[in-house]
Structure 1
Amino acid sequence: MSFLSELLGLFLGLLPTRGGPEEGSVMGESEMDREARRLKQWLGWGAVVVAVVLVWVL
């Protein structure tokens, strides 16, 4: 179980935080584009975590 808690901590540490360096990193990028990029990052990391947990459980 400690493995899962460490994995969760790592996952939360890697998530982009609001107002981080990626915020407005592209000139002329709209708020909607930033939100779409942030959502893709969240979904990507979520897929990685789900895959790792499935491999661990199965």
Structure 2
Amino acid sequence: MNGEELAGPAGPKLVRLLYFLGAGFICVASINKWRDLQRKSMVLQQQQQQQQQNQENPANALK
């Protein structure tokens, strides 16, 4: 056997393809969710920094 599959029923091959596509979908969804969480975390940190700066310098908050 040199890496080629023997001819057989298409059922198992189709199932493997569907598993592969499903795993790819799950990975892409997970990566997008992680990026979204990172983005939200950065926005929250920036807001907190701005609030701290506004509390330290109230004159800048009025501008």
Give the alignment's TM-score, normalised by structure 2.
0.48
CA RMSD of aligned residues (A): 1.3
1:39 corresponds to: 18
The alignment covers a number of residue pairs equal to 34
> Kindly, what percent of the aligned residue pairs are identical?
12
Structure 2 Cα separation of the partners of residues 29 and 45 of structure 1: 25
Say which structure, 1 or 2, has more relative contact order (CA 8 Å, 6+ apart). 1
2:54 corresponds to: none
Question: Any runs of at least 4 consecutive aligned residues in structure 1 with deviations exceeding 4 A, and if so which?
Answer: none
Letter in 2 for 1:26: E
Which structure's residues are more often helix, by fraction? 2
Please identify the structure whose Cα radius of gyration is greater: 2
Give the alignment's TM-score, normalised by structure 1.
0.51
